[in-house]
């Protein structure tokens, strides 16, 4: 095992986090609290870039849009893939009027300052207001690529006077992922039908600069799903060769991301080098450059969620442990039945016997549970750490039950910075007109 491998292991387990440092962060910033380690994000990106040395790596920003994350990855050389106008506004220079409004309101500039040529906008059935923003930003940032998944969207862009860079999203008919709700590759919602894609790409050259093809199998793809990933890539290689034969000069073929991470301690990490080799082989010879869009893989194990125990209730042969975090803080367990490993990081936890308990949040829903976990016997006031929370954690946090969203901090070596302050009830109600009070 090389020194680089030791410094940059393929997965960071929950047990690798310093309990002492997590307790200090909770003391300083309160709970629930998202913690994200930028050094780990950088390590994950470098591993991905090393595995795909001849490919373009675009970070799927929807996994975690915290400004320090976007800036760190952009500094490492990553492009950014955006799924909405809001994400575009985070990474590009937003409208001057909006910036001035933010300054007057005392809000920090949320932009990451990424060049337009390093940004892809990949929307699904984009609302009119999103397209308006995308076209305006494309005018201000030459090189921005807009990915289109329907012929209607091409027409809507043309109606707005857009004639710039287009990537065509294709539905390859192959889906995979950790849950049926995220197996996008076989879902008709995503992309133009595979058998119509070549003709649509050729026709689009009359109105736009067609620069790429895109497909995505799904999210959280693991070893058992890799055959579907290879099939998707193979189909995209065949399509690229057909499109290139029609004198369409493609810059890239984007085969998406979805690279999975192990959420359970007994699961092995993804063999990224093997995946990269299989991807290159499946794509075959094309003139275009391969592009990949990792999201979860770069940030999941870089983050934990800290929450305090507020209730321990004996129930039959077991116990229900109530915590401050819930489905409004981390939605994945309620939405996907997702497992997130837990650890009691209280000062004396190691001296206690382990006990299987049900961990539940404060929302009045049966779905508001983190499932059953073996923990050092929990007591009221204990601090629990929830692993692999860096991806789709804060991004899916919401205000259901009028609950303010949690704070988020980033670690950069020894430095700690607040990425998002803790919301207050006043923040929750701020959008409501005062005359309705």
Instruction: Please state the residue numbers annotated as binding site for pyridoxal 5'-phosphate.
Output: 258, 293-296, 392
CB-count burial class (<10 Å; 0-12, 13-18, 19+) for 188: exposed
Assigned token pair, 250: 């493609």
Spatial CB neighbours of 211, under 8 Å, sequence gap ≥ 6: 145, 165, 166, 167, 250, 251, 252
d(CA 43, CA 320): 37
As given in the structure block, the two tokens for residue 52 are 């795909």
Question: Rounded distance, CA 316 to CA 304, Å?
Answer: 31
Q: What secondary structure letter does DSSP report for 436?
A: G
Q: Which of 36, 32, 20, 23 is nearest to 301 (CA)?
A: 36
Among 36, 112, 35, smallest CA distance to 71 is for: 112
Dihedral pair phi/psi, residue 11, rounded to 5° = -150, 145
User: Distance between CA 221 and CA 182 in Å, rounded?
Assistant: 10
**Active-site residue, selected from the candidate residues 82, 99, 167, 364:** 364
* Lookup: tokens for 324: 């401050």
- Known binding residues for substrate are 296, 332, 336, 365, 392
Secondary structure (3-state) at 255: strand
CA pair distance 293, 81, nearest whole angstrom: 7
Q: Show the tokens assigned to 49.
A: 């870039």
Q: Give the C-alpha distances (Å, rounded to integers) separating 6 from 12, 240, 270.
A: 11, 39, 16
Cα–Cα distance measured from residue 302 to residue 309, given in angstroms and rounded to the nearest whole number: 23
Task: Report the alpha-carbon distance of residue 397 to residue 326 in Å, rounded.
Answer: 9
Q: What is the largest CA-CA distance in the chain?
A: 71
| Binding-site residue set | 258, 293-296, 332, 336, 365, 392
DSSP class of residue 225?
G
State the DSSP code for 268: P
Residue given tokens 């985070």 in the structure block: 90
Q: Tell me if residue 82 is catalytic.
A: no
- Cβ(221)–Cβ(258) below 8 Å: yes
Catalytic residues: 364
């Amino acid at each position: 095992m090389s020194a680089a491998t030791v410094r940059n292991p393929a997965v960071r387990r929950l047990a690798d986090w310093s309990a002492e440092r997590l307790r200090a962060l909770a003391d300083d910033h309160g709970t629930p609290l998202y913690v994200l380690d930028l050094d780990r994000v950088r390590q994950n990106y470098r591993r991905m870039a090393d595995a795909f040395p001849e490919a373009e790596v675009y970070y799927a920003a929807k996994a975690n849009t915290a400004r320090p994350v976007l800036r760190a990855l952009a500094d490492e050389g990553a492009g950014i893939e955006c799924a909405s106008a809001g994400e575009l506004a985070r990474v590009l220079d937003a409208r001057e009027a909006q910036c001035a409004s933010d300054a007057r309101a005392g809000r920090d500039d949320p932009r990451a300052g990424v060049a337009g040529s390093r940004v892809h906008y990949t929307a699904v059935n984009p609302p009119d207001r999103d397209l308006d923003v995308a076209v305006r930003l494309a005018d201000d940032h030459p090189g921005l690529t807009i990915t289109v998944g329907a012929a209607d969207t091409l027409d809507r862009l043309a109606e707005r006077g857009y004639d710039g860079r287009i990537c065509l999203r294709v539905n390859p008919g192959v889906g995979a992922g950790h849950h049926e709700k995220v197996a996008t590759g076989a879902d008709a919602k995503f992309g133009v039908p595979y058998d119509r894609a070549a003709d649509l790409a050729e026709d689009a050259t009359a109105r736009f600069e067609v620069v790429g093809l895109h497909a995505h199998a799904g999210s959280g793809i693991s070893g058992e799903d890799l055959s579907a990933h290879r099939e998707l890539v193979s189909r995209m290689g065949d399509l690229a060769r057909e499109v290139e034969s029609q004198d369409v000069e493609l810059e890239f073929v984007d085969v998406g991301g979805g690279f999975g991470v192990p959420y359970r301690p007994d699961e092995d990490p993804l063999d990224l080098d093997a995946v990269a080799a299989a991807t290159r082989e499946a794509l075959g010879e094309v003139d275009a450059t391969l592009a990949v869009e990792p999201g979860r893989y770069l940030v999941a194990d870089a983050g934990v969620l800290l929450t305090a125990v507020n209730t321990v209730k004996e129930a039959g042969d077991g116990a229900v442990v109530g915590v401050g975090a819930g489905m409004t803080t981390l939605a994945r367990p309620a939405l996907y039945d997702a497992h997130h490993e837990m650890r009691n990081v209280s000062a004396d936890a190691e001296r206690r016997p382990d006990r299987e308990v049900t961990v539940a949040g404060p929302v009045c829903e049966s779905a508001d549970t983190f499932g059953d976990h073996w923990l050092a016997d929990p007591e009221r006031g204990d601090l629990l750490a929830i692993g692999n929370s860096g991806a789709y954690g804060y991004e899916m946090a919401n205000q259901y039950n009028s609950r303010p969203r949690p704070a988020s901090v980033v670690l950069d070596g020894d430095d700690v910075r607040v990425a998002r302050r803790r919301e207050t009830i006043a923040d929750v109600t701020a959008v409501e007109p005062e005359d309705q009070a």
